A = this chain, B = another copy of it.
């Protein structure tokens, strides 16, 4: 399970300039600006996932409770709820007396994730195509796919991943399946993407971004079969890319 940022009411990612501030303030800002509602632990969990996307937290990184409570201005109890939540989603790994670490995905974990995520993503695409009644959301989905191609070209990796998350949130919201929104491991996919994103070459990245545009077109055209098939091809392409990446990208867990 992933961090349950409210998937309904998917929120357009803010186009914030990345001020290279002291890390001490970064998480705090993230919370105040973007995840301003929900319980304290939900806000913290969402902020940590976002910081993974933005590259401010990297796989393997050590998270200390005293430090985080200090930075985020919350109590240990609330922080522990957030970490427990993230651990259940496989975003962080908790080890007693030693602290929490941002999880690292080895090669098998990545293929397992892709195998599990694919049927859910295809379901999301089918449901969205079949259920899409809102012209506004259709337009927003196409816009998001367009922004993805722009962000890919501009090299803003963190913003690209945040926009990608928004794209999936939109797709799921359009499909109207609340269970899918709860189950689909988008946050773990964020972790996966953050880990491999910088290791891909230009062609791989471009193809990845193009996939979203094709999917958006099929979905907004109400073409259920194409939406499903294109999402499948998108995953097939991702697997090919993974096959091409060196082993060092996937440290031993």
Q: Which residues of A contact B (CB under 8 A)?
A: 1-2, 4, 41, 77, 80-81, 84-85, 88-90, 109, 112-113, 115-117, 119-120, 122-123, 127, 177-180, 182-185, 188
CB-based contact A115/B183 at 8 Å: no
Contact of A123 among B119, B177, B179 (CB under 8 A): B119
Task: Tell me the dominant secondary structure on chain A's binding face.
Answer: helix
CB-based contact B177/A112 at 8 Å: yes
Which of chain B's residues have a CB closer than 8 A to the CB of A41?
A: 84
Please measure, in the bound complex, the distance between the C-alpha atom of A88 and the C-alpha atom of B42, giving whole angstroms. 10
The 6 closest A-B pairs by CB, nearest first: A1-B1, A119-B119, A112-B179, A116-B179, A112-B177, A113-B179
Name which of A2, A84, A120, A188 has the most chain B CB atoms within 10 A of its CB.
A84
Which of chain B's residues have a CB closer than 8 A to the CB of A184?
A: 183
25 chain-A/chain-B pairs, Cβ below 8 angstroms: A1-B1, A1-B2, A1-B182, A77-B77, A81-B81, A90-B182, A109-B179, A112-B177, A112-B178, A113-B179, A115-B177, A115-B179, A116-B123, A116-B177, A116-B179, A116-B183, A117-B179, A119-B120, A119-B122, A179-B188, A182-B185, A182-B188, A183-B183, A183-B184, A183-B185
CB-based contact A112/B180 at 8 Å: yes
